[in-house]
């Protein structure tokens, strides 16, 4: 069972109060030394032997240069660090894995901040009777999937084992089961959070409901999340895999896929992607050094029904077909994301629709003979339970909390493009990204997906008419802007 945290300040706050007078007489460096003694984790300063490791993001191309790094090993460490930052005029930027860290590090945006690393807090508790999980701030989707699977339960997980649960969920969370079950943020039942005033509280639909609304899809600008509690699903098998063709067939395949997405039920989630792969020994032979077009699909239905639904794509005679019944845990490998940190550049865009002209523009930008520097470019099918109205209706039917700041998307497709950041490739990558997004711009949706925005954006692009409400809450809970996120509300 989960242990609720009190809504009053935690025990750590009392420690901070007791030492406040001492801290007030110390220089920053002296105070940091005292903080280091109080933490279960540790303080890292520039010049320390482990400084570069401590400040590294998952994307090794991102150069994070904070004033200080704190590696937390307990919830009390998180509370102490927020209080310290507020007292010394330092922003506090919580970070688990460091995915999507580029916007935070841009223009040395961490120079006056404590980078608060939560990656060592990876506890996961499964309540099989209630079909819920409670996960700590640094938990990865691999941790959750492994813990839930023995109970016959599945989560709305990210596409890779090492994606952080908290950051992914605060940004919305588009999983392989999204068209059936909606965004991961809509499954959150409670949040444990440290706000800028040093209070550690548990919030839900009945307690601090406005803050609860904001953190579910509104990003990490409102506090340091110490734990999430969310619903799991009784799913023991899906039908999933990839279909692969040479890149020269990209126009034909992508056009057929786009038409197919207009016919499939919400039980089908899929992606079409064009990949230009270098000849690397760690890649399987069918990918190494090749350019290919791939459709990845997940069907929440019987194998026979999946075969029926996939027949139009299989009629194109893929050279490789890996679709098979499998446990939900296998979905963490379906997208073939890198197994660990890599240097990369990329960005995303949402599309209202995907007519034939949009498919041609996509293939022209990144297909055979395009000269693109992009390693992978994909279009994900949305719709279904990802539509805002459908999300609200589903929550009401299931007795779930009303959806939060990002209930869903007024877009039917989600594009992401990425490249390996190799020496001397910056200009080519920038040109390739610019060419792709300019070509598909006519079909751009009015809002963007926070988790796929690797560059800085105006907050209105994420939240539209909800932005004023989010900004009012930010002023109320963090008037001095102690908490800093990769995509601030402004």
75-101: average pLDDT: 96
3 state DSSP class of 32:
helix
Contacts of 251 (CB under 8 A, 6+ apart): 359, 360, 363, 367
206-232: average pLDDT: 98
- Residue at 54 is within a domain: no
Minimum mean pLDDT among 261-270, 337-346, 466-475: which range?
Answer: 337-346
Quote the mean pLDDT of the chain: 94
- Residue at 398 is within a domain: yes
Report whether pLDDT(1) > 50.
no
Report whether pLDDT(148) > 70.
yes
CA atoms within 13 A on the CB side of 236: 3
- Residue at 156 is within a domain: no
Query: What is the predicted pLDDT for the residue at 387?
Result: 96
Report whether pLDDT(92) > 90.
yes
Six token digits for residue 370: 């395009």
pTM: 0.93
CB 130 within 8 A of CB 200: no
CB 361 within 8 A of CB 439: yes
CB 274 within 8 A of CB 250: yes
In total, how many domains does the chain have? 1
- Residue at 445 is within a domain: yes
168-174: average pLDDT: 98
d(CA 12, CA 216): 26
- Residue at 267 is within a domain: yes
- Residue at 230 is within a domain: no
Contacts of 60 (CB under 8 A, 6+ apart): 341, 342, 343, 344, 421
Report whether pLDDT(49) > 60.
yes
pLDDT digits (tens, 9 = 90+) for 380-417: 999 999 999 999 999 999 888 999 999 999 999 999 99
Q: Looking at residue 263, which CATH number applies to its domain?
A: 3.40.462.20
Residue 413: which domain range? Answer: 238-452
d(CA 35, CA 116): 13
Residue written as tokens 């790094």?
Answer: 69
26 band by pLDDT with thresholds 50, 70 and 90: confident
Q: What is the dihedral of CA 3, 151, 308, 414, to 10 degrees?
A: 30
Query: What is the predicted pLDDT for the residue at 229?
Result: 98
- Residue at 42 is within a domain: no
pLDDT digits (tens, 9 = 90+) for 246-293: 999 999 999 999 999 999 999 999 999 999 998 988 888 888 999 999
Report whether pLDDT(57) > 90.
yes
- Residue at 342 is within a domain: yes
Minimum mean pLDDT among 41-50, 280-289, 395-404, 420-429: which range?
Answer: 280-289
166-184: average pLDDT: 98
């Amino acid at each position: 069972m989960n242990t609720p945290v009190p809504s009053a300040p935690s025990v750590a706050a009392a420690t901070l109060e007791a030492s406040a007078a001492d801290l007030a007489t110390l220089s920053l460096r002296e105070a940091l030394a005292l903080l280091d003694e109080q933490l279960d984790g540790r303080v890292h300063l520039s010049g320390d032997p482990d400084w570069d490791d401590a400040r590294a993001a998952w994307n090794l191309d991102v150069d994070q240069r904070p004033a200080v790094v704190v590696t937390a090993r307990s919830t009390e460490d998180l509370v102490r660090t927020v209080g310290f930052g507020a007292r010394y005029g330092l922003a506090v930027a919580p970070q688990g894995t460091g995915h999507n860290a580029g916007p935070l590090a841009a223009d040395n945006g961490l120079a006056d901040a404590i980078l608060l690393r939560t990656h060592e807090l990876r506890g996961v508790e499964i309540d099989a009777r209630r079909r819920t999980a409670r996960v700590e701030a640094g938990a990865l989707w691999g941790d959750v999937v492994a813990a839930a699977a023995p109970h016959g339960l599945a989560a709305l997980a990210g596409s890779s084992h090492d994606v952080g649960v908290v950051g992914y969920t605060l940004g919305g969370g588009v999983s392989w089961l999204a068209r059936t079950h909606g965004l991961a943020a809509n499954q959150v039942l409670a949040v444990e959070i440290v706000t800028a005033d040093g209070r550690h509280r548990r919030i839900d639909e009945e307690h601090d409901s406005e803050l609860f609304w904001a953190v579910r899809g509104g990003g990490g600008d409102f506090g340091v999340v110490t734990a999430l509690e969310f619903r799991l699903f009784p799913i023991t098998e899906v039908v999933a895999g990839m279909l692969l063709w040479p890149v020269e067939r990209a126009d034909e395949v992508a056009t057929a896929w786009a038409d197919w997405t207009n016919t499939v039920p919400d039980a089908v989630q899929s992606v079409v992607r064009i990949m230009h792969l270098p000849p690397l020994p760690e890649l399987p032979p069918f990918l190494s050094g090749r350019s290919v077009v791939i459709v990845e699909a997940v069907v929440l239905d019987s194998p026979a029904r999946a075969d029926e639904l996939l027949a139009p794509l299989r009629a194109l005679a893929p050279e490789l077909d890996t679709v098979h019944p499998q446990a939900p845990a296998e979905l963490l490998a379906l997208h073939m994301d890198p197994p660990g940190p890599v240097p990369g550049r990329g960005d995303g865009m949402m599309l209202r629709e995907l007519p034939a002209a949009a498919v041609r523009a996509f293939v022209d930008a990144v297909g055979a003979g395009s000269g693109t520097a992009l390693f992978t470019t994909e279009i994900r099918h949305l719709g279904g339970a990802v539509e805002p109205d459908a999300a609200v209706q589903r929550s009401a039917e299931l007795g779930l909390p009303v959806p939060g700041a990002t209930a869903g998307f007024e877009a039917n497709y989600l594009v992401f493009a990425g490249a390996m950041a190799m020496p001397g490739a910056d200009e080519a990558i920038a040109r390739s990204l610019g060419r792709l997004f300019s070509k598909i711009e006519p079909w751009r949706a009015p809002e963007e997906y926070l988790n796929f925005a690797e560059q800085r954006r105006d907050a209105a692009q994420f939240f539209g008419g909800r932005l004023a409400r989010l900004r009012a809450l930010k002023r109320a809970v963090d008037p001095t802007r102690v908490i800093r996120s990769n995509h601030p509300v402004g």
